[in-house]
Amino acid sequence: MTLLQSTMLMLAASCTLMLVGFSARESRWGPALIMLGIVGALLLIAYNIYEMSHGG
């Protein structure tokens, strides 16, 4: 699996968490899933920025 494929797979997982969390926003665990999806997407963005800035 290439880096692009793994990145897209992790981004899809983060977006799925946000989608499921938004669908269940009335329940207790819905906002937690949204937050987990947001943190996952931000970490993925930060990792890609770090890799681009260090030439790796």
pLDDT in tens, the chain (56 residues): 788 898 999 999 999 999 999 999 999 999 999 999 999 999 999 988 888 898 65
pTM above 0.75, yes or no: yes
Q: How many other CB atoms sit within 10 Å of the CB of residue 24?
A: 15
Largest CA distance in the chain: 44
